[in-house]
Amino acid sequence: MSQAQAEEVTEIEAKRRLLDIKSLDNPKALKLYRRFDGILILVLFTFLTLGIQIQFTLTAGDWDYWIDWRDRRWWPLISPFTLLLFIGAFTYGIWYRLRLPIIATAVTLLLCLVSWLSRYLNFVEFANFPMSFTFPSTYIGLAILLDCALAMTRSLVVSAMIGGGLFGALVYPLNWAFMAPYKVPVEFNGTLMSVADLMGYEYIRTTTPEYLRIIEESTLRTFGGSVTPLTAVFAGLCGIVIYAIFLYAGSWINGLDKYAKRIV
Amino acid sequence: MNRIVARKTWFKGLQFHSVLAVLALMLLAGDVMAHGERAQLASMRMRTVHWFDTQVTPLNVKVGDLVTVTGKLVTSEWWPKHMPSIEETVFLNIGVPGPTFLRLHSEVNGVPMMRSTAFPLGKVYEYKTVLRARVAGRYHVHPLLNVKDAGSLVAKGSWLEVAENDSGEPFVNEITTLPGDTIDLETYGLSGFGGVYFWHVVWIVVGIAYLVYWLGTKRELFIPRFIRIRALGQDRANELLTKNDFVVSSIFFTLTLALILTGYLWAENRYPITIPLQTGLVDVEPIDIPAGDLEVVVDHATYELAGRSLTMRMNMTNNGTSPIRIAEFLTANIRFMNAKVGEGEIYEGEEMISRDGLTVSIDTIAPGQSVDVDLVASDALWEKYRMTGLIHDPDSRFAGLIFYYDDVGTRYYQEVGGAVLPEFF
């Protein structure tokens, strides 16, 4: 393509953009845009639902399926890790092009809704597990903090520091409100167990034996046994790093549109 | 035109036949009853764990009734070296379709088995599992061992009928916690203020409210915002965010932090005594195999494909003072019984038994006698349970238990094993 041709294209493009801007003053055009926006939201949310459901199932599945997997060391680390990498990649594009701080909330809300549907149909109705053993965790509160941090600071970097950190650190406190009853102690056959452990034992899972759980085990490397706060701090740091890395990945993906333009 | 009509007719015919074929397949489909008893490699089933005396009682119950599963197992000395060993980590499980039963108790050699353990090879383990029927239906119940990094090992199954209970009341599973509360695990923690449903509804409502603000109250959404940002450029794109956006975001941020803190403190106050999830291996003292005074050395073994029979030549020396009769050969959960001896209990509903499947070349081994004995285990069960695959396995060796009795009817058993050669014709 010659330089003259390139300048011509740029000129045509500039004219188009001018027309686009003028269309925003046209009520009929705005009405049409709104209809298209409805379709776009539907498509985006469907894509987010399918994407996060598959990704979360493959990476943090069992930690979210079973109450006797939600420990205080691995679950608060794995869950924000896997959520933030998905959220980070999408947040960049939506923020860069639309300045809408909604992705984290949308992803966690959709995940929550689809998880409830899945637990009810697959686990309760089909596999006969009680809902008390398989209810999903919630991450919506963390996502709102992340999105609000972005909306308030208007900076991806600062929001990664604040929102990403809080997203990782507050997984346990957020869910503790309704998970605490499952950590109440029980004596069973002379052995100390939590209610969650006992449920895992009584409600039979043929291919999920006790040893398969990846949960906290005793170790010499603790600070006076303060596992929960230490995990929260570490998860917060990981949250910042993971979110930042995947924002960067999102920026790279966002840059791929130049190839789309060439194809068009 | 005729060609198009013909094509349409042909396509409709194809659709009709497809529907018929699917319906036929659905009608002809049998019960799903496999928990792996036929799926694993024959040599693996023969050389891992020997299950015997497996008993499920009773076989007809109602929802809420108790079922007891008992039996013994011997861990094979011929355990494949390339496979993660049962000596590391193993869990006594039960093969049923999910939580159709509650597991109320399980033990091995008298030790409760809520957690995983380790089984040294060549030892005997007596297990017991107590179940409570939870969902009505017909189930194939197997004792089961999950071996870490190796997989599941299943004992033979028994069919169990569970009928609805007479009262028709919902199933409850009550326990008492250490702080003294009696709770129903079926619904525990779900309903009421501060329960799972409550908090999930709270967060879903807050999440929807947040999204409604950004997607429902804005005059301009995706396409108009995209156009404006493209016109403004990235340096001025933040101008799209209004003061109202900042205020609303601040409110949501503060409200969310306050809700998280409130929920956490409420739960801490409501449930002051909590513990982390419990895990760790427990120790089980193994039992020695009651091998009696019979010394057995396997000379060779052949598997005859056409006859579906395993022939084992062994040298047996009776070092005791009582005559011995070989009554049974057990491998891969299949019992080949010597009809001439007629010893060995057969339990109600027990499967995988060949009542006259074992032929022994000598009737009685007298005290002090040393003799070569041919044992022939022959039955169609080799085929039915896919044991003929033995000759196609990458590690063609066998193992099994032989059971024998002295003159007062005391039962002894020991493991035999070795290489096996196929006879194709």
What is residue A188's DSSP assignment?
A: E
In whole angstroms, give the CA distance from residue B159 to residue B139: 6
Using CA atoms, how far residue A109 sits from A133, A144, B21, in Å, is 21, 10, 43
- The H-or-E segment that residue A186 falls in is strand A185-188
Angle, helix A3-23 to helix B222-232, in steps of 10 degrees: 130
Burial of B393 (0-12, 13-18, 19+ CB in 10 A): middle
Q: A-chain residues within 8 Å CB-CB of B148? A: 209, 211-212
In a domain, A148, yes or no: yes
pLDDT at A19: 84
Walking along chain B (425 residues) 10 residues at a time, the average pLDDT comes out as 63 76 71 65 89 94 96 94 93 93 96 94 96 95 93 91 89 95 95 95 97 90 90 88 95 97 96 93 93 90 88 94 94 93 84 91 93 94 85 84 93 93 81
pLDDT at residue B22, as a whole number:
78
Q: Are A109 and B211 in contact (CB under 8 A)?
A: yes
Q: Is B2 on the interface with A (CB under 8 A)?
A: no
Domain count, chain A: 1
Place of tokens 């039955």: B379
Is-contact A181 A195, C-beta < 8 A? yes
Q: What is the pLDDT of residue A112?
A: 97
Phi/psi of residue B165, nearest 5 degrees: -75, 160
CATH of the domain at A233: 1.20.1450.10
CA distance B124 to B127: 10
Q: What is the Cα Rg of chain B in Å? A: 32
Amino acid at B271: Y
Q: Quick check: is A61 in a domain? A: yes
CA distance B348 to B330: 18
**Tens digit of each residue's pLDDT (9 = 90 or more) over A47-85:** 999 999 999 999 998 999 999 999 999 999 999 999 999
User: Is the separation of the CB atoms in B402 and B337 below 8 Å?
Assistant: no
Interface residue of A152, A158, A219, A226 to substitute, partner B, most B CBs within 10 Å:
A152
Residues with Cβ within 8 Å of B19's Cβ and at least 6 positions away in sequence, in order, are none
* Mutation target among B203, B214, B259, B273 for the A interface, most CBs of A within 10 A: B203
Cα(B177)–Cα(A188) distance, integer angstroms: 9
| Among A33, A109, A185, beta carbon nearest to B178 | A185
| DSSP label at residue A213 | -
* pLDDT value of residue A15: 83
Q: CA-to-CA distance for B63 and B61, rounded, in angstroms?
A: 7
Cα separation, B379 vs B283, whole angstroms? 39
Rounded to a whole number of angstroms, the distance from the CA of A1 to the nearest CA of chain B is 24
Distance, in Å, from the CA atom of B324 to the CA atom of B412, rounded to the nearest integer, reads 10
Compute the distance between CA of residue B425 and CA of residue B203 in angstroms, rounded to an integer: 71
| CA-to-CA separations, A214 to A72, B278, B378, in angstroms, rounded | 11, 12, 45
Both tokens of A162, joined, read 């604040």
On whether the CB atoms of residues B375 and B257 are closer than 8 A, the answer is no
| Nearest to B48, CA basis, from B137, B157, B152 | B152
Q: A10 to chain B nearest CA, in Å?
A: 14
Mapping DSSP onto H, E and C, the string for chain B reads CHHHHHHHHHHHHHHHHHHHHHHHHHHHCCCCCCCCCCCCCHHHHHCCEEEEEEEEECCEEECCCEEEEEEEEEECCCCCCCCCCCCCCEEEEEECCCCCEEEEEEEECCEECCCCECCCCCEEEEEEEEEEECCCEEEEEEEEEEECCCEEEECCCEEEEEECCCCCCCCCCEEECCCCCEEECCCCCCCCCCCHHHHHHHHHHHHHHHHHHHHHCCCCCHHHHHHHHHHHCCCCHHHHCCHHHHHHHHHHHHHHHHHHHHHHHHHHHHCCCCCCCCCCCCCCCCEECCCCCEEEEEEEEEEECCCCEEEEEEEEEECCCCCEEEEEEEECCEEEECCCCCCCCCCCCCCCEECCCEEECCCCECCCCEEEEEEEEECCHHHHCCHHHHHHCCCCEEEEEEEEECCCCCEEEEEEEEECEEECC
Tell me: the pLDDT tens digits for B24-53? 776 666 555 556 677 788 888 899 999 999
In this predicted structure, the answer to whether residue A264 has a pLDDT above a threshold of 50 is no
User: Which residues sit opposite B175 in a β-bridge?
Assistant: B183
CA nearest neighbour of B325 among B343, B308, B300, B307:
B343
Q: Does residue A53 fall inside a structural domain?
A: yes
Whether A185 and B275 lie within 8 Å, measured CB to CB: yes
Show which of residues 237-266 on chain B sit within 8 Å of chain A, judged by CB atoms. 237-238, 240-241, 245-246, 249-250, 252-253, 256-257, 259-261, 263-264, 266
The single-letter code of the amino acid at B240 is: L
How far is it, in rounded angstroms, from Cα A83 to Cα A78?
9
Enclosing domain of residue A100: 11-263
CA distance A100 to B245: 10
Amino acid at A28: K
* Chain B residues within an 8 Å CB radius of A149: 253
CA distance A62 to A65: 5
Q: What angle do CA A56, A60, A61 make, to 5 degrees?
A: 80
B369 touches chain A (CB under 8 A): no
pTM of the full structure: 0.88
Residues composing chain A: 264
Chain B residues 196-235 with CB within 8 Å of chain A: 196, 198-200, 203-204, 206-208, 210-211, 214-215, 219-231, 234
Q: Is residue A182's pLDDT more than 60?
A: yes
CB-closest option in A113, A184, A205 to B274: A184
- How high is the pLDDT of residue A263? 56
Residue A106: inside a domain: yes
Whole-number pLDDT of residue A1: 46
Q: Across-strand partners of B416?
A: B400
Residue B21 to residues B24, B26, B347: CA-CA distances in angstroms? 5, 9, 41
Distance CA A104, CA A141 (A): 10
Nearest CA in chain B to A129: B99
Nearest CA in chain A to B129: A202
Q: Which two tokens stand for residue B358?
A: 């074992």
Q: How many CB atoms lie within 10 A of CB B170?
A: 8
Give contacts of A212 with chain B, Cβ < 8 Å.
146, 148
| Burial group, residue A41, by CB count within 10 angstroms (0-12, 13-18, 19+) | middle
Contacts of B172 in chain A (CB under 8 A): none
Closest by CA to B343, choosing from B416, B414, B412, B297, is B412
ipTM for this model: 0.93
Angle ∠(A47,A51,A53) on CA atoms, nearest 5: 120
SS3 category, A264? coil
More confident residue, A5 or A36: A36
